[in-house]
Amino acid sequence: MTPLVSRLSRLWAIMRKPRAAVGSGHRRQAASQERRQKHAKSNSQAKPSACDGLARQPEEVVLQASVSPYHLFRDVAEVTAFRRSLLSWYDQEKRDLPWRRRAEDEVDPDRRAYAVWVSEVMLQQTQVATVINYYTGWMQEVNQLWAGLGYYSRGRRLQEGARKVVEELGGHMPRTAETLQQLLPGVGRYTAGAIASIAFGQATGVVDGNVARVLCRVRAIGADPSSTLVSQRLWGLAQQLVDPARPGDFNQAAMELGATVCTPQRPLCSRCPVQSLCRARQRVEREQLLASRSLSGNPDVEECALNTGQCQLCLPASEPWDQTLGVVNFPRKASRKPPREESSATCVLEQPGALGGAQILLVQRPNSGLLAGLWEFPSVTWEPSEQLQRKALLQELQRWAGPLPATRLRHLGEVVHTFSHIKLTYQVYGLALEGQTPVTTVPAGARWLTQEEFHTAAVSTAMKKVFRVYQGQQPGTCKGSKRSQVSSPCSRKKPCMGQQVLDNFFRPHITTDASNLNSAAQ
């Protein structure tokens, strides 16, 4: 059993035990943690944050002075109407998603929180449609299954957090947004709020990209939502609006509204449950009335009293109202910088005659930075001349595999792959060790893999593109491999051991004997 599966087994074994079955040390630790959480909660209630709009630091006073009430919810009736309309719509229109079913059906709060945690981490900067299949059978090994999701460091932080829950917190998830963010690595403000509200019913608001867009349109906030000032105000609005009776449903409803109705480019305003409260829609109607000149004077539609360029939440003076955009005027995001361009040379080093079939060499990337911890073909920074490039690449290959025939190194083409902030061009080389004694040992951080092992390893999409270039142009056993033969761990008929453990983790259990799990996993 691999170390990862062992850790997952222990996590499952602890979380599935009844409370009485947890050791006395764990009971003491859990009780101590509960006291800390209650203390943190009482403190948060006694001293509301500036974002809640209840107690303001000096800088918040300055912020408030430059914000018109037009952008705020000013009375209880308006807030109540927003909650009621949004939740009624959500009850009728919400999508059937696997993590929602788990959160609704799971009675154990720790396992419910874990299910929400996994989904929220996966959904960070990744579309729902992409996440569903990964979530369903996600854990053969964190990076391996997540290679198509991107943002690989999320998987490592999730693993670190799960280990901490087991080893330091007695198998119990922290219960509040404050303690979740404080105690679990990689859990930020949004993820902590989502887990606390959905799994534990804490009345705490959340702001992701969808929620930010909804709030900006409902309150006609045209400034950049990623700025500190606007972000602070959005979190305050989210906290003001969250329904204390159904905080988890309310937060999911706000996210759902942004994802399915209040979309970035083509919002479906006619289907919006809070259209009557939407200042962006009111602005559209006002502009249409003015344009038609059907009414004398100004139409009776409220507007910002500080619309002289002083309000820091209105559309910037440099980007006035655009009639063609309608509600999409809100919010106006700062122009995104184009990804910086970088170049690299990489080589597929193959041993066609290796015992057990052709093998290729992979090396592991550093534990920090781009694609941290993933496996790749040996690579070097792009050199200005072909001669220098070949020399640098050969030196890198020999560092991992020993002496190599330099004359067999061939340039095969290039691959361009764009990450979130980097456009990386790979110059692809190939070198096949024909007629040589196979290399059987490599330094730490390198390994020889068969084709099948490569396709199920923790490699990036870019490396899979590189390998396809090699397959198409290099004679040898690898060329016969077709892309259709590539199979992901999730598509196999028999689930791998890691997936079995996670599947079992989420199933109801009759027995609480942890030894049954260990024997089944061996």
Active site residues: 120
Q: Phi and psi of 411, rounded to 5°?
A: -85, 125
Burial of 233 (0-12, 13-18, 19+ CB in 10 A): buried
CA atoms of 139 and 311, how far apart (whole Å): 48
Q: Reduced to 3 DSSP states, what percent helix, strand and coil does the chain have, rounded to the nearest 5?
A: 50, 10, 40
Among candidates 334, 68, 338, 336, which has minimal Cα distance to 227? 334
Q: For residue 486, give every residue at least 6 positions away whose Cβ sits within 8 Å of its Cβ, in sequence order, or none.
A: 455, 464
Give buried/exposed letters for 380-414 (b at 16+ CB in 10 A, else e). Answer: bebbeeeeebbeebbebbeebbeebeeeebebbee
CA atoms of 337 and 334, how far apart (whole Å): 9
CA atoms of 239 and 50, how far apart (whole Å): 11
> To 10 degrees, what angle do helices 128-136 and 109-123 make?
140
CA atoms of 141 and 149, how far apart (whole Å): 14
The one-letter amino acid code at 506 reads: F
Q: How far is CA 273 from the centre of its chain?
A: 28
Q: For residue 33, give every residue at least 6 positions away whose Cβ sits within 8 Å of its Cβ, in sequence order, or none.
A: 169, 170, 172, 174, 179
Q: What sign does the dihedral 496-499-501-507 (CA atoms) show?
A: negative
Helical H segments across 189-313, by residue range: 189-200, 209-218, 228-241, 247-260, 279-292
Count of Cβ atoms closer than 10 Å to residue 464 Cβ? 17
33 in Cβ contact with 174 (< 8 Å): yes
Which of the 8 DSSP states describes residue 17?
S
Burial of 453 (0-12, 13-18, 19+ CB in 10 A): middle
Element (H, E) at 417: strand 410-418
Burial of 318 (0-12, 13-18, 19+ CB in 10 A): exposed
273 in Cβ contact with 254 (< 8 Å): no
